[in-house]
Each structure stands twice: as C-alpha cells, then as structure tokens.
Amino acid sequence: MDFWPEFMASSWGREFVAGGFGGVAGIISGYPLDTLRIRQQQSSKSGSAFTILRRMLAVEGPSSLYRGMAAPLASVTFQNAMVFQIYAILSRSFDSSVPLEEPPSYRGVALGGVGTGAVQSLLLSPVELIKIRLQLQQQQSNSGPISLAKTILRREGLKGIYKGLTITVLRDAPAHGLYFWTYEYVRERLHPGCRKSGEETLRTMLVAGGLAGVSSWVVCYPLDVVKTRLQQGGGHGAYEGIADCFRKSIAQEGYGVLWRGLGTAVARAFVVNGAIFAAYEVALRCLFTQLTSADLSKKPKQDALKIYKE
C-alpha cells in the first residue's frame, strides 16, 4: 500500500503539508525578530531592539539571530496539524446547534480556540523552553536543541523540560481564542459572506491574519514576558513561581517591564502571519492543481483557518 499518494489524495493530507510550508515560512521570516524580543524581555539593560541587533551582529555574527531555530522548525508541521485538527473539532463541539454546512458560530470559534491553545501547550512548552535558552546564549555554542534537551532532562528531569507549562497554558488558551475569533470576524467584515463561501481574497486573509496576530499578542504579552523569565534558566531558584516572577520583575524594573519588546512582537506578528498565510495559500493551490475541476469544487471552506500564530 502506497501511503504517500493516499495521504496526499485526502484533503486532510494536503492541508497538513500546506500548513507545514506556512509554518516553516513564518518561523524563518520572523525568527530574527523573535530573538530580539526574547533578549529585550530578559533584562532592562539589554536596550532597544536596534541596539541589541547592532550588538549581536558585531559581537556574535548574523547567525546568532537564528540560534535555536532548529527546535521550532522540527516541530512546526506536526504542531500545526495537531492545532488545527483539534480546533476544527472543538469549534463545532462547543456549539453543536450550528448545522455542519454552516461555518462555526463566533462562540464556538472562541471557545474552540481557547481549548486548542490549552492542549497544544503540552507540545509547545518544551520546544519554547529549549528555543529560549538557545536564543539567550551570548556566544556560539556547539550545543544544539537535542543536546540541550538531554542536558535538561539529566539535570532537572521531566519537570525541568516542562518548566513554564502553567504560564504557557495561561498565555496560549485566551490568546488562541482571541486569535481565531478576530480572524473570523475581521475577514467576514472585509469580505461579507466569505465564512460560508470561502471566496475571500489573499489580501483579506493577510489583513485578517495580521490583525488577529497583533490582537492576541497584545492581550497575552505580560504573560509572555513572565514565561520567558521563568524558562530562561540560570540562577536556579531566581523565581519561585508565576506570582513571584511578576512581583520581583515589577519591584525591580517597574510595570513597564511587562510590555518591554511589545513593538518588536507586534512587528513580528504582521511579518510572520503574512508569510504564513501567503506560503500556506500558495502551497495549497499548488497541491489542488493536481485534482480535477470536480475535486476543486469540494475544497473545504475553512482552509483559510489552517494557519498558526507566532
């Protein structure tokens, strides 16, 4: 039995592959800005994004902007597939009164996004912990994501690799709910009827995706700052938990610390979501050109939702 031809013959298989292309494009395009964001969140002494960028290029070289990228790249395809399949199920389950031929209600979209964000944190939390620690290395190291993961497991056990899971759930659950709700609402406003017809333009998807990404980041950003500080490692016992991290960070650096790096994160949200939507849509259209015109007419109306927020 040939698995690949049968897999690609299914709509789910094509969406899986296209989602992988979109996720990879988003990570590659937005990773330098993500590295700058992480360094800004780490300490008040790090300076502005431009200051950090100049220092990194001069001292550590251009490759430092992509340090730790292997970890999210390795997981992005499976993560995207898992996230959007769970979302498709939950968005219907939370409001079963809506007929299957109709798009999910906004209530179902929001609650489905919240549930999806909570579940996907189980995969995302260890990946981000490894990514953050690699991004914060001040010099070139031979330690890659696998080597670092083994070191953490050996020294801290499974609890160490899942450090920051609670704050990741608290960040991602509401953020995903707002993300999917904003995307659905904005694209319907820009192109009335598109939630049912699936005929919105690429420009509509880019704008809706960008605004969805920005809105979700603004809401969850203070939690993201705390998550970075809890997961950064070093100085064992520096923070005793989420509340302690909030309290110490504010006491030492003021309330502004909770929003440090937000501008970089917002810029990254637009860049990443633009790249994800464009790459996903182009890949999906290329895959669907292999079908007959009859198959093309059966393209799922919710394809435009199969996109991950950075």
Question: pLDDT digits over 272-291, tens only?
Answer: 877 776 777 677 778 767 55
pTM for this prediction: 0.78
Q: Are 229 and 241 in contact (CB under 8 A)?
A: no
Nearest to 223 by CA among 180, 178, 184, 186: 178
Residues near 62 by beta carbon (within 8 Å), at least 6 away in sequence: none
Q: Distances from the Cα of 247 to the Cαs of 132, 242, 281, 287, in angstroms? A: 22, 9, 44, 51
Q: Categorize the per-residue pLDDT at 181 as very low, low, confident or very high, splitting at 50, 70 and 90.
A: very high
Return the higher-pLDDT residue of 44 and 125: 125
Q: Report the pLDDT value the prediction gives residue 166, as an integer from 0 to 100.
A: 96
Task: Return d(Cα 7, Cα 18) in angstroms, integer.
Answer: 13
Indicate whether 249 pLDDT > 60: yes
